[in-house]
Copies of this chain bind each other. A is one copy, B any other.
Amino acid sequence: MIVERITSSQNQRVKDWKKLSTKKGRQKQGQYLLDGWHLVQEVVKAGQPIETLIGTSDELQRHADIVAQVADVVEVTPEIMHQVMGTVTPQGIAAIVDLPVTAVTTVPTQGKWLLLDRVQDPGNLGTMVRTADAAGFAGVIAGTGTTDYFSPKVVRSMQGSQFHLQLLTGDLATIIPALQANQIPVYGSELNPEAISYQAIPKTDSLAIVMGNEGQGMAADLLQLTTKNVYIPMPGQAESLNVAVSAGILMFSVVE
């Protein structure tokens, strides 16, 4: 139910919400923002609690069913919505939810995993999480130096997939050997025609695929640790593929 109406952007809560656009702000408050009804519905469907629901009068009236389920609902002006979301066209509704713990504590013993080595672009990260979800992967492990999962741009491109698979972070130089010790083969990706073609990856229930940085690819020391390194043969003239497209081709090639 609506517990508060805020019309001033000088309100302390508005100032706190704005800080959720930075990694520091998210970590300090332990929360992140979901923009728009699609994501609000995804969090409800996932059975995860909404800490605060923020909306314009119009939008809150339109979805009374969700409003009724949330203890802390705040009505704001469209101007405040715009300031908090930082997008050109905010949808007039947003949810604040708890930031999940992502640090790897136990290394996976089964399932398909996407590992990311220093991926920089938020759109690429979000698209890869969404694609991993579609391909039935168990989760994504972002190595040190990969952009944050919960920035507004990543959250927008994940389209709710963070509620369907595990998002972990950790040191890939430690995790790759640990996965292998758990009988999970780890396939690195590289732009090297001397690597084996990705079509040679056996379709097994458990495996890991590593994608590298947009400009530099995977770090050389990680390429040394993998079970095998694969490349995507390209008959055309382009020098490389976008990393999210490559990840899509690799992940769907191992769908049974």
Contact = CB atoms under 8 A, between A and B. Distances in A.
Nearest to A235: B136
Contacts of A160: 238
Interface residues of A, number: 36
Interface of A: 123, 127, 130-137, 157, 159-161, 164-165, 232-242, 244-249, 252, 255-256
A244 B127 CA distance: 10
Oligomer: number of copies: 2
Given A161-B238, A238-B164, A255-B235, A245 B127 contact: yes
Contacts of A248: 241-242, 245-246, 248-249
A255 B242 CA distance: 17
Given A134-B238, A135-B234, A245-B247, 20 more contacts: A130-B241, A131-B238, A131-B241, A132-B236, A134-B234, A134-B235, A134-B236, A134-B237, A135-B235, A136-B234, A157-B242, A159-B238, A232-B252, A235-B255, A242-B244, A242-B248, A245-B245, A245-B248, A246-B248, A248-B249
Contacts of A133: 236-238
A256 B235 CA distance: 9
A167 to B, nearest CB: 14
Given A249-B249, A249-B252, A130 B244 contact: no
Given A245-B244, A245-B248, A130 B164 contact: no
Nearest to A249: B252
Contacts of A127: 242, 245
Contacts of A136: 234-236
